[in-house]
Amino acid sequence: MLNYKPLFFITGLILSKLALFMYIPMLLALFTADVGTQEFFLSIVLGHTASFLLLHFGRVQHFRLGVREMFLLTTLVWVIGSAFAALPFMLIEHMSYTDAYFETMSGITTTGSTVLSGLDTMPHSVLMWRSILQWLGGIGFIVMGVAILPFLNVGGMRLFQTESSEWSDKSTPKTQQLAWQILQVYLVLTICCYFGYLASGMTQFEAINHAMTTLSTGGYSTSDSSMSHFSAAAHWNASLFMFLGGLPFLLLIHAFKKRSTKHIYRDAQVLGFVKLVLVSTALITLFLWWHNTFPLADAVRISLFNVISVITTTGFGLSDFSAWGNFATLIFFFLMFAGACSGSTSGGIKIFRFQIAATLLKKQTQQLLHPRGVFPQNYNKRRVNDAIIRSLVAFILSYFITILITAAILAAFGSDLVVSLTGAITAVSNVGPGLGELIGPSGNFASLPDASKWALSVAMLMGRLEILTVTVLFFPAFWRG
Amino acid sequence: MLNYKPLFFITGLILSKLALFMYIPMLLALFTADVGTQEFFLSIVLGHTASFLLLHFGRVQHFRLGVREMFLLTTLVWVIGSAFAALPFMLIEHMSYTDAYFETMSGITTTGSTVLSGLDTMPHSVLMWRSILQWLGGIGFIVMGVAILPFLNVGGMRLFQTESSEWSDKSTPKTQQLAWQILQVYLVLTICCYFGYLASGMTQFEAINHAMTTLSTGGYSTSDSSMSHFSAAAHWNASLFMFLGGLPFLLLIHAFKKRSTKHIYRDAQVLGFVKLVLVSTALITLFLWWHNTFPLADAVRISLFNVISVITTTGFGLSDFSAWGNFATLIFFFLMFAGACSGSTSGGIKIFRFQIAATLLKKQTQQLLHPRGVFPQNYNKRRVNDAIIRSLVAFILSYFITILITAAILAAFGSDLVVSLTGAITAVSNVGPGLGELIGPSGNFASLPDASKWALSVAMLMGRLEILTVTVLFFPAFWRG
Ligand SMILES: [K+]
Ligand SMILES: [K+]
């Protein structure tokens, strides 16, 4: 039997925290005499009530969570959190609950696909709530990635468990301490990003919002034209902090503590990330320059921005890259799968999985030429054993199966090949925009049918939780236990 | 140092065999007083001369082929064979050598993408040569798959090596004997298919050609409208023999010898193949019926035909499925990757790899729920060890990398997202047609730039040779040896 009480209790805790964060947009609306005070207040009251009931019925003297409870809890927290956090969108913008839930799930998973338009004139409380959702989702994901996923051993994350536990042997931080350190670094970087945006000419409000959605690689903006609305300096600032948001946070913490970045430079995953950014940017820049789409300086800035935006799965828009011609479109299509480093806020398959795959491919080729040779396979100075390969394969398989099923649902409800495919990919990878006019960087998801929006909401959540965390819940064996 | 002499010798042997097969279209042209006699005669003379020189310079007393020689030889035979077999197309149809080479490589790899139109009025010698290329390519591939690839251990084929060697322990056939048995079964089935087509109302010439391109899952036709040109009975006959062409030939041989099909029914891969065909057909039929595209009986026939045609990578056209709406298009997009059984003439990833992946996924999910449990992974009553998983991963990775690079080249030379992607997929999977108007079932590849055609030719060959057989040649380590 599953032990439900602790699940109630922890979900209640999370709801009460979410309700606390709702005070920010409520107070903003109150003090600027803008729309939203009543609606946020109502949501807060509902949130505190639900949280009180859950905490009450879930209270037990002692509890222990087994693996199955952990899986269920991880999914439940995001599903119920979104169900609650969607209320203000519905109440203020008078949108359907489907749309509100989509927008919330997209925010909290840092996907950043939106059904809203008219952002430039939208109540500040709504915009602020969207940004807060992404910011919370970002740090929630990092903490989950460091503290919970390695424990559940989903998707080859054990590789990082050993890494972090070895590191923690020296410095002995417990999980709570680690979460606290992550929060500090995340806050400091957000504040730096905020000042950068201020300096680039953004208003106070724009800078706060974009700082939150940049570090979390979320990609929500306060303008329909996203980053095209802002100065070149803002683009450089965004590129820098999206890049930082794509780095493994444990390494950033280490760098902050030791006042040294050498661990970052030497990390195989970071190096791979940097190489991928540079090579892709070079290709796209050359292509744009060759076709005289932009002058060279602009081509570099715009290419770098878009490449980082897609690889880190931020999804900010700056000049619609799906209108740059077929070659650029195809490169971005493939980059949508990539993702930045594990342990960052970014989604996607992530660099380390490609690197492990590459070492495997190298080993296999050597093996073909020298059938009796012994070729050890290493990654980041660590042996890659068969258990890691297997969980990596399981991850990538379930990743593509999720894309396949999501795309099939979208197609069955009338979307064409490009929308179905890139809509599914962008959701599972938590990128945000797809390709093409409809859902590309200059479009939005409003026109899709409700069924497609729910399918995409599930896909975003599955992508965020490394797929298998959610998939196990669909197995009858899980519930028989 | 690589030992080149035996490579010359064996290539010479293959060229002389190809030249012998050219007598068929030459005699056909001669006796029907049709175009082509001179051109085929010239090609034959050139072929015999080249073959004579290669045999002369390659003659050695004894030879032994190492692994590296085997890899080089396998690729070389197909490349040089195509270079020679392309001559008649160039001479008769006055097409560029690029187009002729593309058409030949497409034929001999049983891909079936074409640059030709006006097939209905084309000289019979040319049509016959196209069909012969596919028929030879089909049996060449089966023999290679049974005799050479397991020896080279490419793409997890060891799984079948053990299987076939165990089987051969009882019946002690040597490779030559096995090749002979394959040829017999292949011939018998081709003849049955021929009579089926005759009975369905095809002319003698149409029946011969389509029999050769059906069994080989090649898909070349004698009409621009492909199978739409023929009767419903012809479609059922095609479905049956494409299906048989997608079965493992070793099992067919076994069935012929034992006069029993129970080994076929019990084979995990065959069962998977049948399930995939039935489920896909049901989905497409329902979709077509729902949208009133066809009456139910027609919907069943046309769906089944197209599903088998794409899964077995035959690629015959019958009513352009890319015009059936988004859902059908997407299903076919995914089926283009599938492929039928290993050891058949079909291309693609192949059923057994998906099944092994599925058993892995199942095992991993169980492992997530019971971290300390021990879950053995079996396939076809055989243990799946880590070496098989690794070579399977290497295959699928290199498969997608080849698609990625090919698609990028197509896009760089101006093709749009759908053409680039489906063009690359259809080539690597040896299916034939892509999706969309240009290269879909009712289009052809003539309008693509030369660079794209060469890229596709390489992709078709790589797909046919299970990718890694060709990839190793690109490694400097291969040549340093
Ligand atoms: K995003
Ligand atoms: K084919």
Higher pLDDT, A32 or B62: A32
Which residues in chain A have Cβ-Cβ distances shorter than 8 Å to B357?
A: 393, 397
Distance CA B26, CA B126 (A): 9
Alpha helix (H) residue ranges in B317-449: 326-338, 351-369, 386-412, 417-428, 436-439
- Which pLDDT belongs to residue B157? 52
- Distance from Cα B98 to the centre of ligand 2, integer Å: 20
Residue type, A11: T
Which residues in chain A touch residue B388, judged by CB atoms under 8 angstroms apart?
A: none
Report how far residue A445's alpha carbon sits from residue A461's, in angstroms, rounded to the nearest whole number: 17
Give the number of beta-carbon pairs within 8 Å between A and B: 142
- pLDDT-derived band at B164 (thresholds 50, 70, 90) equals very low
Handedness of CA B174, B179, B184, B188 (dihedral sign): positive
Give pLDDT, residue B297.
Answer: 87
Read off the DSSP letter of residue B432: -
More confident residue, A356 or B386: A356
Structure tokens at B457: 């030719």
pLDDT at position A165, please? 34
The amino acid that residue A200 corresponds to is: S
- pLDDT in the model for residue B201: 93
Does residue B88 have a pLDDT over 80? yes
Q: What pLDDT is recorded for position A88? A: 94
pLDDT at B154: 63
CA of A265 to the centre of ligand 1 (A): 25
Instruction: Indicate the domain borders of chain A.
Output: 386-480
Residue B312 predicted with pLDDT over 70:
yes
Two structure tokens written together for A80? 């119920």
DSSP code of A224?
T
Q: Does B394 touch chain A (CB under 8 A)?
A: yes
Distance CA A464, CA A346 (A): 9
Q: B75 C-alpha vs ligand 2 centroid, how far in Å?
A: 19
pLDDT block averages, 10 residues each, chain A of length 481: 81 92 93 89 94 87 75 90 94 93 95 90 94 94 78 58 36 67 92 96 95 94 90 94 92 87 86 95 89 84 93 86 80 88 89 88 81 77 79 86 93 89 92 84 87 95 89 81 60
Q: Is the pLDDT of residue B268 over 50?
A: yes
* The pLDDT of residue A154: 63
Copy the structure tokens of residue A7. 């699940």
- With CB atoms and an 8 Å threshold, state whether A397 touches B366: no
**ipTM topping 0.95:** no
Average pLDDT, stretch B209-217? 95
Residue B287 has pLDDT above 90, yes or no: no
Residue A423, token pair as written in the block: 């809509």
Q: Is B41 on the interface with A (CB under 8 A)?
A: no
Tokens, residue B113: 């993408």
Of B78-82, B173-177, B345-349, give the lowest mean pLDDT range.
B173-177
Question: Looking at residue A463, what is its pLDDT?
Answer: 93
